[in-house]
Amino acid sequence: MQHARRHSGLQAQCGIGLIEALVAFLVLSLGMLAMARMQSDLRAHAELARQRTEAVRIAQQDIETLRAYSALKASQSSGSRSYEQIAAASTTIDAIGPTRYELARQVSTSADGQAASIAVTVRWNDRRGEPQQATLASVIGRSAPALAAALLSAPSGVPVLGAFNRSPRIPLAAKDLGDGRSAFKPANDSTVAFVQDNRSGDVVARCVGLPTTLVTAALTPADLTNCDTTIGLLLSGTVRFALGAPLPLEIALTLTGDGYPQAPQCTTTAIESDDRRSVYHCVVYPSASGTNGGRWSGQTMVVPIGWRIGVTGEDRRICRYSSDLDGSGAIDRNVEHPAAYAGVDTTLAHQNFLVVTAADTCPTAPAAHIDGSAGDVYVDLGTVQHQP
C-alpha cells in the first residue's frame, strides 16, 4: 500500500516538472521575440535619424543656394532681376541609398517687398513605408549681390567696433574701466597711463604719477587722478636697436599749421631689460577750430640722450620702417609711416624705427606675399633712412 502511494506521488512530481519547463521555455521565447523586435526598432530609428539628417542637409543646401544667388537665371520681364524672383519650386532629388527625397519650396513676399520668406520641405518614406518630412524656414533679402559688401561699411557717423566691443584703435591689452573708457600703461614700470574712449578710440586723458608696480591689468578709475583730460589722438611705435640694449632717447614730434591747444606729450620707455626695443606713445591735441580742422600734420624725430646721430665714427643712423600697403607705388598714406604726416585724423600705431651704426645702411627686405608672388602685401620689413 505504501509502495503504491510513493509511485503515485512520483508521477505527480514528474508532471509538474514538465509544466515548469514549458513555462520557462515560453518566457524565454517571449524574451527572444522582444529582443528581436527591439533590435529591429533600433535599426529603424537609426535609419530614420540618418534620413532626417540628410533631409535637413538638402533643405539647408537649397536655402543657402538661394541666399548666395549662386544659381541665377536671366529675367524674362523687363526691368526686373533674377535675385528679385525667388520662386516656389518642387523637385525630386535622386535617390540617396534606398531613399528618394522630394523637395518643395514655398515663397511669400514681405509687405514691403524687400524680403522673401522661404519654407523648404523635404519629404520621403521610411523603411516601413510611412511618410516623413523635415521643414526649414528662413528669410532672404531681395538686394543685389553687388551690394553685399555694404554690410562691411559702418553707417555714417557710427564708429566701427573691434575686439571686446571697443574701438580697434585701443590696444588689446588695455584695461576696460567699466565706464566707457579703457586705460593702459606703455610699460609695466611706467608712471604714465593713457585713457581712451571705448567707441571713438580718442585719448581722453593722460595720467601721470602712477606707481611703477601697478600693471595695466590692475588699473582702476581710482588710480587715474592726476590726469590731463584734453582730447587727443595717439601716435605710437617702437624704436629697435640693431646691436645691443636700447640707448636712452626721446621722441620729438614737430607739428605744422596751427590749432593745437597744447604741445604734444610723448613718453618713451624701454620694454624689458633683455629686449632691444623701446616703445613710444605721443598724444597730439589738434583743435577743430584751427586751420587743420581737427587734424594734425608734422614729423617725428628720434632725439638721442648721451649718444649721437650721424654718419661717421660712433654715430648711429635712424631708419624708418615704411611699407607701401596699398600698392600705389609710393608711401602716400599716413598709416604707411611717411617721412612727414599730413592731415592725420585717427590713431596711428606701428610707426616703428630701427637704429643701426653709422657704417651700415638702412636694410631693405623684399615684401612677403600671402601667395608667395605679386599680390597683396602680407609683411614688409624694408626700411628707409630717416635721420640724419
- Let me know if residue 274 belongs to a domain: yes
Same domain for 219 and 94, yes or no, is: no
Q: Which of 111, 143, 175 is the last residue of a domain?
A: 143
Range of weakest confidence among 118-122, 140-144, 216-220, 348-352: 140-144
Same domain for 293 and 191, yes or no, is: yes
- Let me know if residue 153 belongs to a domain: no
Same domain for 123 and 193, yes or no, is: no
Same domain for 239 and 355, yes or no, is: yes
Which tens digit of pLDDT belongs to each residue from 167-187? 888 888 889 999 899 998 887
Which tens digit of pLDDT belongs to each residue from 43-80? 778 888 888 888 888 888 888 877 776 554 444 444 44
Most confident range (mean pLDDT) of 130-144, 151-165, 205-219, 363-377 is 205-219
- Let me know if residue 1 belongs to a domain: no
Same domain for 218 and 363, yes or no, is: yes
Task: Provide the domain limits for residue 134.
Answer: 82-143
Domains of the chain: total: 2
Mean pLDDT of the region 334-352: 89
- Let me know if residue 294 belongs to a domain: yes
Same domain for 271 and 182, yes or no, is: yes
Cell for 166?
Answer: 571697443
- Let me know if residue 60 belongs to a domain: no
pLDDT for residue 373: 46
pLDDT for residue 299: 94
Q: Domain holding 118: CATH number? A: 2.20.25.110
Same domain for 212 and 318, yes or no, is: yes
Most confident range (mean pLDDT) of 2-11, 301-310, 341-350 is 301-310
Same domain for 279 and 307, yes or no, is: yes
Same domain for 170 and 216, yes or no, is: yes
Which tens digit of pLDDT belongs to each residue from 147-168? 555 555 555 555 666 667 888 8
pLDDT classification of 244: cutoffs 50, 70, 90: confident
Choose between 202 and 273: higher pLDDT.
202
